Structure 1
Amino acid sequence: MLAPVAALVPSPESDAVAGVRAPDLTKCRYGWEIALVLGVSLGQSAVYSILSLAEKLTRPIPIGQQTTTINNSVVPNRPWLDLSYQVAGIIFPMVPALLALYLLWLTGNRREIGFDLRRPGFDVTRGLLAAAVIGIPGLAFYYAARFIGINTNVQPANLAANWWTIPAYVGLAVMNGVLEEVVMLAYLFNRLRALNWQWWQIVVFSAVVRGAYHLYQGFGGGIGNVVMGLVFGYLYLRWRRVGPLVVAHVILDLVSFIGYALLAPYLPKF
């Protein structure tokens, strides 16, 4: 017969008897929890991104003359199947963000992160402001990185033309915004603070991981996203809401994906 669930959950008293303090167990649990959440999401992406950069650097062609394409069609000659792939590519990457939210909910921290509809006006207006602060300098930095040859030519919108192409780009932008900001800001800041990290250490660590999983674009993509991570980390600490940063990220990606799809023929080439 299975033991009652309550019997399987150690109490603070049993921890003391075993010689292990409850705070120590919590820290250990949070450490493993962070490793697992990052391991199935953006930490894993960072590893593959570093490998992708290594592969690009070892090609006979300089990295500045290479092209990186993202948001590609899988089977462009079969629109219904391609749409199915795109929907799956939007839904499944959202699971780690939902996992992070669930873990925060289990420890009573869900309402602290500001990912809700309690202040929609604040989230939208601050999100637009953050997008402008990051977007305009970020575009200038991208072209500077391309000019000096430390970044690939990034083509962010490569879906075949279909009736669902623009909605797919919207879905991809929302997925990126929710996944990255919920995990890298809301979840990571909460858990690392519980491990007694200083705020500046948390901001820097989060920014470095963010930069790492963009290195597939080249050094420019990595550096630019470290800066973005530092700014977003500061704004999250200032506003105490992740909602505006999700909005900002979604706006940046919408402009990048849809704007590129519409303006690609007129953009300067290097």
Structure 2
Amino acid sequence: MSKSTLTIREAVTVSAICFGLFIFWSTQAVLGGFPEAKFTDAGNVWMVIVEAILALTALLYLRARRFDVQLLTLRPDIGGTLLGLALFAATWLMGIVVTTPFVSDGQASSVAEFSFSGVSLGATILLAMVNGAFEEVFLLVVLVRGLRGYGFSIAVGLPLLVRLLYHLYQGPLGVVWILAFGLAAALFYIRSGRLWPVVFAHMLWDIVPVVLSKT
């Protein structure tokens, strides 16, 4: 019989499979003084391949643990897309509000820098589609939903911690943005049970900064 819940040990294993490599890279960036993150078409394609391999590995593990992998299916629809657009706008505004106290004289306190000059819009959209689905499927459907039996604090707190750890490379200010989006995404998913709006909002979060950098 399949299940939709996880033990803490299973949740940690899934987190390690899906995000362990990214946490390692992110930690290296912190220890290295936040080197500039340069995005390129080749790098984006490579990341798509890496996430596909990690997703397949995690799915095989979950299936072996009799987790109902059919729960992970995306169901895009027009209504959900509009909700995702609204969620993106709300979380973007929330990010501005929560980061404002950390900005002085127009200069952000983040020490991380990003370069999008070597990446095309097509490669950006490709990565955003894969990355948005990859992160939110495993963070929300697997971890948040899977840990609901341990109570709200664990179900929301553990996935949020994982999300923050693999985004440390973005620097202090970036982490605040991620905290705002991650918390809003988890609360929206818990309340609505809908995944696609969060995935679409995440895609926009990945695409919009690149578009703005080229304008």
**TM value normalised by structure 2:** 0.80
- Paired residue for 2:84, among 124, 127, 137? 127
How many residue pairs align between the two structures? 209
Deviation at 1:54, TM superposition (A): 3.2
Tell me, in whole angstroms, the C-alpha distance in 1 between the residues paired with 2:80 and 2:113: 29
Alignment-derived partner of residue 151 in structure 2 = 198
Residue 233 of structure 1: which of 179, 186, 206 is its match?
A: 186
| 2:30 maps to amino acid | L
The secondary structure found in structure 2 opposite 1:158 is: strand
The 8 Å contact of residues 37 and 100 in structure 1, kept in 2 or not, is answered as yes
Separation in 2, partners of 1:149, 1:130: 24
Correspondence for 1:38: 15
1:59-138 matched pairs, under 5 angstroms:
68-71=36-39, 73=40, 83=42, 86-101=44-59, 107=66, 109-112=68-71, 115-117=74-76, 120-138=77-95
State the distance in 1 between where 2:152 and 2:30 align.
30
Contact (CA 8 Å) 1:146, 1:152: kept in 2 or not? no
Distance 1:70 1:144, change over 3 A: farther
Shift of 1:144: 5.5
Structure 1 residue runs without a partner (length 5+): 1-22, 57-65, 74-81, 264-270
Amino acid at match of 2:74: F
Q: 1:215 to 1:257 in 2, by over 3 A?
A: same
Say what the alpha-carbon RMSD is for the aligned residues. Answer: 3.0
For each residue in 1:140-184, what CA deviation from the matched residue of structure 2 results, as whole angstroms up to 9, or x when unmatched?
655764536631253252316xxxx22111112112211211111
Structure 2: state its 5+ residue gaps.
Answer: none
Q: Give the 3-state SS of the residue equivalent to 2:194 in structure 1.
A: coil
Q: 2:197 aligns with which of 244, 253, 258?
A: 244
Larger RCO (CA under 8 A, 6+ residues apart): 2
- TM-score with structure 1 length normalisation? 0.66
Residues 136 and 67 of structure 1: is their aligned pair in 2 closer, same or farther, counting only changes over 3 Å?
farther
Report the identity percentage: 24
